[in-house]
């Protein structure tokens, strides 16, 4: 399939004005002035989309999604369900990274891998972390390092829980060893080899991560901490961690725009910041005694909604906000051919109405997933009506 997107205002995520994009197969072949008449004269089957009055962005990269569901802290009936393809694409997400979460007993790494492969067959790009909250953490090959080296979709370890009553209460030394394993796996397989840390509400906050950077030979770029906006004190700690070169991640919620503003105004390294949805993960609420008092399910749609809110309501710069869910995430996870609208990169593209920022079209690896606001590619077992 050849697709020409013309007359759109392009953010790569940097603004480059009104340009055209030519897609052939899965890739962006050309950006700039494209002679439509000459293209059509070739007699090829070309889909032409007039994006006048629209903005064109890279597809979002969500680095933290519970592809198989999550939860279970309230018993077996509180396990959240598997995610479906259109839940992801309707949120403007074209690349996801799957994780397990709390339950590494009834949810298995092999099942997560199979789910990721299934979603990739259905049209989007997927990766996974090996492990779950606990240390030692479950793997496929019995080794974090070997999982990263031998399994194509495994790009690091995670989500490893710290500062949380649900963690295995690991020592800094255990955390350092696991992080080093993931890093070595990344070096030997040319992958990110990051360790993705779930950060709870505990008083230790990010102290373990600061400690291993100070006491061990761990490069900061191999550390990637999420859920950093549980408190102002935790965000301050994350600001300090970002300035050491680690990556930090905001879980999208109704205050995301304000958290971003605070991070920026207080000296956080904006190139080290990302946003994720925690999609299909459970949202348990605990009291001070660690007892479960409430429950919810995170939606991947929250990520896109909060990007829009940060731009429209908080008046934050478009390029800066879009970078947090495209270029920065690709950098944190070292995803080649992702996160930018440039030639030879994957054709992961969003077309949004300029005034409302509603999604009009979604392309994932050149495949047209949403057309004129309608889902045209659904998952294998989704309702076809």
- Please state, in angstroms and rounded to a whole number, the distance separating the CA atoms of residues 161 and 218: 18
Give the CA distances from residue 43 to residues 24, 53, 104, in Å, rounded to whole numbers and listed in that order. 15, 28, 54
Residues 368 and 306 in one domain: no
Residues 204 and 312 in one domain: yes
Strand partners, 226: 198, 249
- Please state, in angstroms and rounded to a whole number, the distance separating the CA atoms of residues 128 and 118: 13
Residues 47 and 73 in one domain: no
The alpha carbon dihedral of 2, 308, 358, 7 has a sign of negative
- Please state, in angstroms and rounded to a whole number, the distance separating the CA atoms of residues 106 and 100: 10
Give the CA angle between residues 218, 222, 227 to the nearest 5°.
120
Residues 32 and 120 in one domain: no
Higher-pLDDT residue of 53 and 281 is 53
Q: How far is CA 375 from the centre of its chain?
A: 21
Residues 39 and 121 in one domain: no
Active site residues: 278
Residues 140 and 246 in one domain: yes
Which pLDDT score, from 0 to 100, does residue 247 have? 98
Residue 146 has pLDDT above 90, yes or no: yes
Give me the number of domains the chain comprises.
Answer: 2
Helix locations, the chain, DSSP H: 36-41, 85-89, 109-122, 144-150, 172-189, 207-215, 232-242, 256-265, 301-312, 318-323, 327-333
Residues 182 and 134 in one domain: yes
Residues 282 and 348 in one domain: no
Residues 144 and 30 in one domain: no
155-168 tens-digit pLDDT: 999 999 999 988 99
Which pLDDT score, from 0 to 100, does residue 83 have? 94
Residues 64 and 18 in one domain: no
Instruction: pLDDT band for 385, please (50, 70, 90 cuts).
Output: low
HSE value, Cβ hemisphere, 13 Å, CA-based, for 316: 24
Residue 362 has pLDDT above 70, yes or no: yes
Residues 251 and 143 in one domain: yes
Residue 384 has pLDDT above 70, yes or no: no
Which pLDDT score, from 0 to 100, does residue 349 have? 98
59-98 tens-digit pLDDT: 999 999 999 988 777 788 888 889 999 999 999 999 999 9
Whether 383 maps to a domain, the answer reads no
Whether 91 maps to a domain, the answer reads yes
Which pLDDT score, from 0 to 100, does residue 107 have? 92
Whether 210 maps to a domain, the answer reads yes
- Strands (E) in 192-241, as ranges, are 194-199, 223-226
Instruction: pLDDT band for 109, please (50, 70, 90 cuts).
Output: very high
Look up the domain containing 244 and give its range: 60-333
**Mean pLDDT value across residues 334-339:** 97
Write the CB contacts of 105 (distance below 8 Å, at least 6 apart in sequence).
none
DSSP 8-state class, residue 221: G
Instruction: pLDDT band for 292, please (50, 70, 90 cuts).
Output: confident
**Mean pLDDT value across residues 240-261:** 97
Residue 147 has pLDDT above 80, yes or no: yes
- Strands (E) in 14-172, as ranges, are 15-24, 27-32, 46-50, 54-58, 60-65, 93-98, 125-130, 154-162
Whether 380 maps to a domain, the answer reads no
Whether 368 maps to a domain, the answer reads yes
> What CATH number is given to the structural domain containing 366?
2.30.40.10
Residue 215: Cβ-neighbour burial (10 angstroms; 0-12, 13-18, 19+): exposed
Residue 285 has pLDDT above 90, yes or no: no
Residues 124 and 86 in one domain: yes
182-205 tens-digit pLDDT: 999 999 999 999 999 999 999 999
* 344 touches 355 (CB < 8 A): no
pTM flag (> 0.75): yes
- Please state, in angstroms and rounded to a whole number, the distance separating the CA atoms of residues 363 and 366: 5
Whether 385 maps to a domain, the answer reads no
Instruction: pLDDT band for 42, please (50, 70, 90 cuts).
Output: confident
């Amino acid at each position: 399939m050849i697709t020409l997107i013309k007359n759109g205002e392009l953010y790569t995520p940097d603004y480059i004005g009104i340009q055209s994009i030519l897609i052939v197969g899965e890739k962006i072949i050309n950006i700039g002035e494209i002679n439509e008449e000459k293209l059509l004269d070739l007699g090829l089957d070309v889909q032409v989309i007039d994006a006048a009055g629209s903005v064109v962005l890279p597809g979002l990269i969500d680095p933290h999604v519970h592809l198989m569901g999550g939860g279970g802290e309230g018993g077996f009936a509180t396990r959240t369900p598997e995610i479906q393809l259109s839940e992801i694409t309707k949120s403007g997400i074209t690349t996801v990274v799957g994780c397990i979460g709390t339950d590494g007993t009834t949810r298995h790494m092999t099942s997560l891998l199979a789910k990721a492969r299934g979603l990739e067959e259905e049209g989007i790009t997927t990766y996974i972390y090996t492990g779950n909250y606990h240390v030692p953490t479950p793997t496929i090959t019995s080794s974090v390092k070997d999982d990263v080296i031998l399994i194509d979709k495994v790009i690091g370890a995670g989500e490893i829980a710290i500062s949380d009553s649900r963690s295995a209460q690991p020592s800094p030394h255990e955390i350092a060893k696991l992080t080093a394993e993931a890093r070595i796996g990344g070096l030997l397989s040319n992958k990110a080899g990051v360790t993705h840390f779930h950060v709870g509400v505990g008083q230790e906050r990010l102290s373990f991560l600061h400690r291993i950077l100070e006491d061990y030979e761990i490069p900061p770029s191999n550390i990637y901490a999420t859920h950093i906006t549980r408190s102002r004190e935790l965000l301050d700690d994350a600001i300090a961690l970002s300035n050491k070169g680690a990556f930090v991640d905001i879980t999208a919620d109704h205050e995301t725009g304000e958290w971003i503003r605070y991070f920026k105004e207080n000296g956080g390294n904006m190139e080290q910041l990302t946003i994720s949805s925690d999609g299909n993960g459970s949202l348990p609420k605990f009291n001070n005694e660690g007892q479960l008092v409430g429950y919810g399910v995170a939606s991947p749609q929250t990520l896109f909604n909060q990007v829009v809110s940060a731009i429209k309501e908080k008046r934050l710069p478009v390029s800066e906000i879009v970078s947090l869910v495209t270029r920065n995430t690709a950098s944190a996870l070292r995803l080649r051919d992702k996160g930018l609208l440039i030639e030879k990169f994957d054709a992961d593209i969003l077309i949004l109405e300029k005034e409302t920022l509603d999604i009009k079209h979604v392309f994932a690896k050149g495949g047209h997933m949403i057309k004129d606001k309608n889902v045209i590619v659904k998952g294998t077992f989704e309702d076809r009506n």
